[in-house]
Structure 1
Amino acid sequence: MVADEAAAATSAVGTGIGLRAQREFSAALAERLAAWRFPDPEGVRYDLSEQDVVSDDQLRLAHGKGVRAIQHAAFTVALGQYCFERDLPHPGFVILDSPLVTYRPPDGGHDPATVAPFGNASGAEDEVSDNIVRAFYEDLQRHCTGQVIIFENTDPPDGLDDQTVDIRFTKNAQGGRYGFFPR
């Protein structure tokens, strides 16, 4: 019975989104991913029946956690920008939790010289393309109308614009900001 009610609620929401809106939103989603230098952004779209992102004819859930995270971030940012540009209701901000730290480009899809290590000394397990990280932050700074709050386990690249605020949580009561909530 609960499943029937959930399906009915989902169906009611889905019927209010037209094909044109789906196509325009899918284009906005692909534009975000292209700006972030995500591989094959043209193959990414929003699927109304699944109510999720589809990439290379696979649901977002079929991909690894890094691809899922960056696609979720692109969905969230694209939805905000889609609403802003059309004067649709939106709270005016998005919050992204670790959108980049787990993403890895496809094997053979990146130049080892452009990979920046994060986390461990060897960098073998914890690396993400510096080009994608830089493109991600530059796109958000230049093309997002609302406020974007990012919680990430790595430092952003140098050269953020003057309106960007970078707060490092130190977990040190003697120096810097201890954490998101006051100690």
Structure 2
Amino acid sequence: MTQQSFFKLLCNGNVIPAPRNYEDFKYALEHSASPSVSLLFGDINILPELLEQARAYKKRALVHLDLLGGVGKDKAGIVFLARMGVAAVITTKPQLGKIARESGMLVIHRLFLMDSEAIKTGVNLLKSYKPDALELLPASVPSSVVAELADMTGLPILGGGLMHTREDIEQAIRSGLSAVSASKRELW
């Protein structure tokens, strides 16, 4: 899958809606042209309903494993999500990403960048498996870092976090990110 086709699966433009609550999720389904919605809330009790609603709107739910309650953060939990119909996950944990890939899900590895050491640590974590994409936090990362990580990993790069205005998104895209996830409705 090319980077361009991968991002067409995720967004229509450069923004992936990332709701933090049910009301924002409904808004994203009803008002966003994006083919995907990144779930930054929820638990196993409401996930079937969220997946059903996303399918009704012909949208893909990207489930953030680290923020989903009630599912064991182990192989059985990940396989359960795959059987439930989760097509894509976001995680900071390589061991969960590897199981998700083996279970047929798309995987976005989320990497928090605080300093140069975080870059080295992140790249070393990715040696144990190859996710489909890398999400950098914050999305306001310098273009030199985006280029370095793209070169070192060969992965499509997106960003998340600290996107407050259209100008923030435009700057992130100019820095080399292919897309950003944003929690603010005004940016969807």
TM-score for both structures, normalised by structure 2 = 0.30
Where relative contact order (Cα < 8 A, 6+ residues apart) is larger, the structure is 2
Larger Rg: 1
- Structure that is richer in helix per residue: 2
TM-score for both structures, normalised by structure 1 = 0.30
- Structure that is richer in strand per residue: 2
